[in-house]
Amino acid sequence: MKHYTMAEAIIAAHSKDPVEAGNICGVEVDFAFANDITAPPAIKEFAKMGAEKVFDAARCAILPDHFTPPKDIASAEQTKISREFARQQGMLYWEIGRVGVEHAFLPEQGHVLPGEIVLGADSHTCTGGALGALATGVGSTDLAAAWTLGSTWLRVPETCKVVFEGASSPWVGGKDLILAVIGKLGVEGARYMALEFHGEALSALPLDGRMTMANMAVEAGGKTGLFIPDEGTLAYVKARAKRKYSPMLPDEGAVYAKSITIDLDRLEPVVALPHLPENVKPAKECGDMAIDQVFIGSCTNGRLTDIEQAVKILKGRRVHDRVRLIVIPASYEVYSAALERGHVRDLTEAGAVVCTPTCGPCLGGYMGILAAGERCVSTSNRNFVGRMGSVKSEIVLAGPMVAAASAVLGRVADPREV
């Protein structure tokens, strides 16, 4: 009898083909979505295929999140194309003021569920692995085909088992954990592999932190990042699910292509220095690395727990005179909760600007573009050359506690310093 890893088990439940690492399998798709950048080319390909209707309007979605509210005529046109197609198809679409960053919003709304195969025309679709879904990014053409057919093909990924031993310090969060993994594997160390996360310490990690980790599996080259759904995850999903679902678990005796261990007892707050997510270093070892901007937000770290962690450091303190602090909640559920709990007031009193849910500066979009020679501490997921603006700018990746401490001290800082 075949013993499946978690990724293999999910594929086997969606395919009639033999499931072995490396095999090409046709699979049924549970949910497929695009955003305001990737939807227009998918819509164009949908028409070229001669397709007339999406396979299931309740399982297909477009979310305007990258350049919304539109920053210019081009982004307004992209959003218009997306909106009109969604209305014509009767598929899921949410206007600004009612949406959020796709990888935060869709799990909140119960559209990404355990045991499912979820495709998104965005590389950070793998965020859904925090709920136990095989969620992965695809190109706009593959997304158009999935909208049409309700199915796709997948090469069954090998799996890298990531084991966390020991216990985290209160200054270490999900971002530190996944940066430690990427630092160990490198940006190509898990190429086309599923990362399967294990360890008793993960039971204490909030779901927000797990989403951060699953989100950045792709930064190690991964196809997806998978957490085994526990009671807390299943309770979260049960309260939100829009359809029936069947959680899948890895089998005892499953064969893993690779295995690594992270010792949490020794892990400190870390950062990834320019210009790769694998350039991981303890925050306290960065010396006097002055900064111009801090960004707290994105699909990686724009959730309520992230904002709460930042507020604990910023409340009663002021952002350094030399620093701009931009905070963007990842959804209106997060924004509303931050308002109700007084977090928005705490942030603005500290000297931050709080913006409407959007991807914003993460991809070099807007609301925080960097000029030549500027350096930003960002809670986003990529620090490639030119990612947030000028090719002569620099991005230091960090969790919200490091980001908040850095905003106060005006340099890359360990949160224990404040």
Taking only the tens place, the pLDDT of each residue in 47-61 is 999 999 999 999 999
Does residue 1 lie within any of the structural domains? no
CATH number at 252 reads: 3.30.499.10
Instruction: Assess whether 22 and 155 both reside in one domain.
Output: yes
Q: Assign 82 a pLDDT band (cuts: 50, 70, 90).
A: very high
Average pLDDT for residues 348-363, to the nearest whole number? 95
Does residue 97 lie within any of the structural domains? yes
**Domain edge (last residue) among 233, 261, 289:** 261
- The residue segments making up the domain with residue 324 are 270-417
Instruction: Assess whether 176 and 73 both reside in one domain.
Output: yes
- pLDDT at residue 1 tops 90: no
Instruction: Assess whether 18 and 82 both reside in one domain.
Output: yes
Instruction: Assess whether 168 and 237 both reside in one domain.
Output: yes
Instruction: Assess whether 246 and 275 both reside in one domain.
Output: no
| C-alpha–C-alpha distance, residues 261 and 263, integer Å | 7
**CB proximity list for 163: less than 8 A, separation 6 or greater:** 198, 199, 259, 260, 261, 262
| C-alpha–C-alpha distance, residues 249 and 269, integer Å | 31
**Domain edge (last residue) among 242, 261, 280:** 261
HSE at residue 416, side-chain half, CA atoms within 13 A, is: 11
Instruction: Assess whether 215 and 250 both reside in one domain.
Output: yes
Average pLDDT for residues 110-126, to the nearest whole number? 98
- pLDDT at residue 2 tops 90: no
| C-alpha–C-alpha distance, residues 326 and 191, integer Å | 33
Does residue 255 lie within any of the structural domains? yes
Does residue 21 lie within any of the structural domains? yes
Give pTM, 2 decimals: 0.95
Average pLDDT for residues 181-203, to the nearest whole number? 94
Instruction: Assess whether 62 and 211 both reside in one domain.
Output: yes
Q: What per-residue string of b and e applies to 266-304 under the rule 16 or more CB within 10 Å gives b?
A: ebebbbbbbebbbbbeebbebeebebbbbbbbbbbbbbb
Does residue 49 lie within any of the structural domains? yes
Domain count, the chain: 2
Q: Over pLDDT 70: what percentage of the chain?
A: 100
Instruction: Assess whether 255 and 389 both reside in one domain.
Output: no
- The mean predicted confidence, pLDDT, of the chain is 96
Instruction: Assess whether 222 and 327 both reside in one domain.
Output: no
